Amino acid sequence: MATVKAVRGTRDLLPPETELWNLIEATARQVFARYNFGEIRTPIFEDTGLFARSVGEETDIVSKEMYTWEDRARAQSEKTQSLTLRPENTAGVVRAYIEHGLGESGQLQKLYYVGPQFRRERPQKGRYRQFWQIGAEVIGPPSSGSESPLRDAEVLEMLATLLQELEITGWTLELNSVGSAADRAKYSDVLRAALVDVAPKMCGDCQRRAVTNPLRVLDCKVPEDQPIIESLPKIGDSLGKDSKDHFAQVTAALDAAGVPYKLNRRLVRGLDYYTRTTFEFTHGGLGAQNALLGGGRYDGLSEAIGGPKAPGIGFAIGLDRLVLTLQALESTQAPAPAAKADAYIASLGESLNAAALVLARELRRAGLRVELGDGSFRLKKSFEAADKIARRIVILGEDEHQSGILTVKDFTTGTQTKVPRAELAAYLARPAGE
């Protein structure tokens, strides 16, 4: 087949599905606004080094899933630059935070974004090479209160609210603390040491992880490995007092707000920048990719990419997965019928097409949704077309054009009436059947 197709892992979103996407985005923007977030839009590609230094050189994302290319030099004096399609958006936001000196204001920055991200993974249900995320970041100098556990709780409460307003039920919030960077490094060492003896008895992946990224061993799903994992040192025991206090305040605030959560001491997220609070909202019915959204605190990220100390916390919602979840829930209820146009204007004869456009313009200016026929004399054809997409048909024949009295038929009731042009918009604005 020689025809060009959307490349692997990418897809077209068509009406009416895009209506659902827009509804979700609009709801998110509305909720975020109530929490005083503002929108940020960062470039879709960045210098490759940004992701290597933030997400982590050793992570799967950076080591094998990025779309990276050498941007060619256009002049002899210009150097080539390695660029990468963003695999996530937090790095870009923090880069912008540093670049524009947003921390200099002393104010806490609350930013959200909506946009496509790119990872070269094997596509499957809920996983695409171009996928969409809605995310938000709370970041600022320590003096702005950015480190407060209240920020963590507020963000989680906001997410619970958003899911509620989207009428998504059946989700689970899994919560953990991986400690400060120091705690995390310490625990990593403890784990590595403990794994020396037991790793050879574990699955191949775990043997590899024991060396490269010991925390990942905790995520292993092989049944035989579970007893061994249970016997490994717990991350909670490696947390310093500050980290423990911080986490306790997060959970206390969630309890007070009535946000349900499940402690998951083995929740380790795959991006290197996470510190202290990490979380994931999961949902069944998503197949193997059950994470609806994920996030956490990143107290050292800004410094890792050369910025000032700027603790923060953020999350990213998998929009594709949100849509899937909503569609799955929707099917158990009534499927939403596609909205119909308010009127279909059938001009009888091409000589009336210009007049039909003028009429449509009037009605559309009045806020009505209007479709135009093609000037066919065959009313049968016009009726067939009109009935599929509109609630009423407006007939504009020679008589109507001369008299200014239009013929309108209501498809719901089947009744036909004459309406003076001056009253037409008001008439069509009425609900069908009235």
With respect to RNA, which residue has the nearer C-beta, 241 or 380? 380
Rounded CA-CA distance 357/353 in Å is 6
CA angle 14, 23, 135 (to 5 degrees): 100
- Measured from the CB atom, the residue of 148 and 347 that comes closer to RNA is 347
Residues 330 and 376 sit within 8 Å (Cβ to Cβ): no
Cα–Cα dist 298/279, whole Å: 12
Nearest CB to RNA, comparing residues 144 and 325: 325
CB of 107 to RNA, least distance (A): 26
Question: Which residues on neighbouring strands pair with residue 315, listed in sequence order?
Answer: 136, 295
341 has which bridge partners?
390
Beta carbon of residue 88, minimum distance to RNA (angstroms, whole number): 6
221-227-232 Cα angle (round to 5): 95
- Please state the closest distance from residue 219 (CB atom) to RNA, in A: 5
Provide the minimum distance between the beta carbon of 73 and RNA in the complex, in angstroms, as a whole number.
28
Q: Which residue from 99, 92, 98, 143 is spatially nearest to 117, judged by alpha carbons?
A: 92
Identity of the residue, 142 or 270, whose beta carbon is nearer to RNA in the bound complex: 270
In angstroms, give the least distance from the CB of 362 to RNA. 19
The residue (of 103 and 215) whose beta carbon lies closer to RNA is: 215
Under the rule (CB under 7 A), what is the footprint of RNA? 1, 5, 8-9, 59-61, 88, 119, 121-128, 131, 133, 205, 209, 216, 219-222, 269-271, 280, 287-294, 316-318, 320-321, 348, 377-381, 383-384, 387-388, 395, 397-400, 407, 409, 411, 414, 416
- DSSP letter at 55 equals I
Closest CB 347 distance from RNA, rounded Å? 10
Contact (Cβ atoms closer than 8 angstroms) between residue 137 and residue 316? no
Q: Hey, how many other C-beta atoms are within 10 angstroms of the C-beta on 288?
A: 8
Question: What single letter denotes the amino acid at residue 190?
Answer: V
**Residue 31 or 408 with smaller CB distance to RNA:** 408
